[in-house]
Amino acid sequence: MSTSGREAAAARLARPASTTGDANTNTEHTTTGTTLADLPPELLDHILAQVPPRERQRAALALAQVLRGHAPATAHVWAHLPVGSARQVMPLWRRLMVEQGKARGGGAAVVKTFGMESWRGDADILNNALRCLPYLDTLLVNVGTNFAPEHLQEMFERPRPQMQRMEMRFRPYVEQASYYQFLKGSYFDAAVETLYKNWPETPSFTHISLVQDLPPRVTAPPTRAHSPAPSLANSFADLRLVSRFPTAAPSAATSVAPSAAASVVPSVAGSAAGSVPPSIAASVTSAAATPDGSDTESGNSGSEESTTPPTSLSEADDSLESKGFTRKGPFPYLSERLQHLKPKTFAQPIVFFDIKCMARFGAAPVAKHLTHLRLRVPSRDLALVLVSPPPNTRLFPSLRYLDLSTSNVRLDAVFVTLLRQYERLEHLVLDRVNLFAFSARERGNDMCKELGQACVGAGLARGKERERLIAAWDTAQRTRVAQQEIALRQAAARRASADESDAEAMREEMQRQIALSRSRRNRPAPAAHSTFSLRDRPSRRGAAAASTGPAVSAADLPPQDKAYFVLPPLPTMKTICIGGEAPLISTFKVSHWEDEFHSGWRDGLAKLHGWAVHIADKYERAVKKANEWKASEVKTPTPKGGKGKGKAAPVTKVRPPTDIRLFRFARPDEPLPDWDPRDPTVGLIEVEVSDAAPRAYLDEYKHAIADAELYTHSQAVRPPCVLCTVPGCDGPSRRGEEPGERVDGRGGMMGKHKDGCGHSIGDATWGWEGVAA
């Protein structure tokens, strides 16, 4: 719609009455019309509440322009603050300082969501603005080359008790050669270290996203001519996965004409309520100049549809030369005659990442309630870090959604450990991680079956590991009891021998003193004698051995009185995404992959059920032996005359365990207590076995197998675990299987995703789509 059309529509809305004539009766009826300005403010607020959070502020300002007498509510203007340009940071900070001086904090106390969408701007001023927002619950930040580690530390030095979701996207790349301040140290780990050092346990903090952009490329993706991808440059929406439901109509914010948006400023400034800050009006003006609300200084043309990812350099852009070395860069000595010697490309600066900080962060109290974690660092071994917790700690105990796309993950022992360690993991996104190690064409079916078995077999390994921990814990307890008994016996023996040796020592001392007095007669005074002896000092080795207690043999251990059995848990995985593992593979072959995955899932469930039956048998045998031993303790009385005719109860030679218990793991919907490394039974729930149905606890395994078989025969039902092979993001370039081969990690995102896959969950969770209205 043109500008004149919008102005005409606004004039029609403001017109008080309309006169219409009936052509059939030639009778004029004059009706009194009702404009939007006559509607109650509650209804207008309800209309604004239906606008998406990212567009609500601009919609409220546009409505204030159309309705001269209407002042939007403070919550609609200040609740969600998107900053799309570096020029908006300074006026926004000044306005926030003014709002803080008002009663109850003014608009600064209403802000719930803050999104820094620009890659530029003064980081110090941005930190000053964030200090004025004490009640933030959602923080979306684009971290570019304008940030230093000190800025990230300052941003998170003060805890925010209301914080719910935090998303940081890092782009440590430059478009022209320059000196880069991040060469002095680490990058995003400064923010992570500040979080786990300064922030206490925050129950509301459940979502965090740390994403590093892919390195820039000067080549086009393989599917450039067939699958143009929308440009994600300068938009915070590309933090989420590529949506499978693109919006056909433009948003209200992007349809505002420049002239109409520019006219908002004087009208809002002159409103009677005066509740619209000039900085926000200025942001509308700058956003009208750039319809997508992006930063025009970022070097990407927002008007043209780019077919390359945001981290790539567009080949169609004539300014490629300006993105290389320039005379304003670090090579000013190149004159005009030496332009042919100027390099066409340059290496990106090296930035050091300490990804091990994620292990310390996951073990900190601030990460105790995190349920959604997205961690993307291209070509880094993040899975190895997430399975290496500090001693006597657990990482992310409440994690349910994990996204490790673009990193390095293989279908090996580390991956199995990852599945075993996170008990409540339900959604796993592994796009462009090279999970099959370039063996998808030859061994795709086998590896998908192995993947399904690994997802289910993680519960079996978890149950066995918990039983080993319980056995080691019981042995340690019995060892401590044996050491205490041995120490008591040794102390008693020492006291008894001391009484006998005291009298002998006294007699020897008397004889020694008599002999010494006789030897001193008619002799000069001898030299002084030492009052202590080095031989009496115990050696360090002996002291270390004494500190650990007396040695205990297996015969000295008391008999085992506890027998705890643990049932293996059923798989909690609901979706798993392996996008990018099937490039240029037909849909028919991919369907075979899914069939093999579910076949491996069924095989894993069969093994899980078999082990659960084995545990049930062991439990019942242990209970039977304990009952027999208890019955044997009640001795049958014998007659005084001699032999009795009664038959004695069977006697067990070795005392069996009498404390028999059966445990199971907590389900995802059950509360999980705090983990205690000193007691491995923490987090387990004791199974109450009834005499009427002694094996009713095995029914859930049978039901899981039945559900998996039902999906095999009728795929109209939802599968037990959704497998999606369509990628939701681009990946880094990797070395191929052949020498010198390079595999491009782009393309293939135009396929159809599975219903309810992890990508759809990520679309609704991250970015502005996940902001609560």
The whole-number pLDDT of residue 467 equals: 94
Residue 234: closest CA among 288, 294, 290: 294
pLDDT at 639: 54
**For residue 223, what are its two tokens?**
């599917």
What is the helix (H) or strand (E) element at residue 89, kind and residue range?
A: helix 89-100
Up-side HSE of residue 560: CA atoms within 13 Å toward CB?
A: 16
Which residues are CB-contacts of 691 (< 8 A; sequence separation ≥ 6)? none
Give me the phi and psi of 167, to 5 degrees please.
Answer: -130, 125
Predicted local distance difference test score (pLDDT) of residue 613: 96
Given the structure tokens 């399975």, which residue do they identify?
387
C-beta separation of 177 from 330 below 8 A: yes
Count of Cβ atoms closer than 10 Å to residue 476 Cβ: 11
User: For position 247, what pLDDT does the model report?
Assistant: 39
The list of the chain residues with pLDDT below 70 reads 1-37, 176-187, 218-335, 339, 342-347, 349-352, 518-550, 635-653, 737
Instruction: Please report the pLDDT score of residue 215 as a whole number.
Output: 84
DSSP state of 186: B
Task: Give the phi and the psi of residue 47 in degrees, each rounded to 5.
Answer: -65, -45
Distance, in Å, from the CA atom of 371 to the CA atom of 165, rounded to the nearest integer, reads: 10
Q: Where does residue 304 rank: exposed (0-12), middle (13-18), buried (19+ CB within 10 A)?
A: exposed
Dist CA 320 CA 345 (whole Å): 9
The two counts, helices (H) then strands (E), for the chain are: 19, 17
Let me know if 595 is exposed, middle or buried by CB neighbors in 10 A (0-12, 13-18, 19+): middle
Answering whether pTM is above 0.85, one says no
Are the beta carbons of 216 and 317 closer than 8 angstroms?
A: no
Is residue 764 within a helix (H) or strand (E), and if so which, with residue range? Answer: helix 758-765
The pLDDT assigned to 758 comes to 94
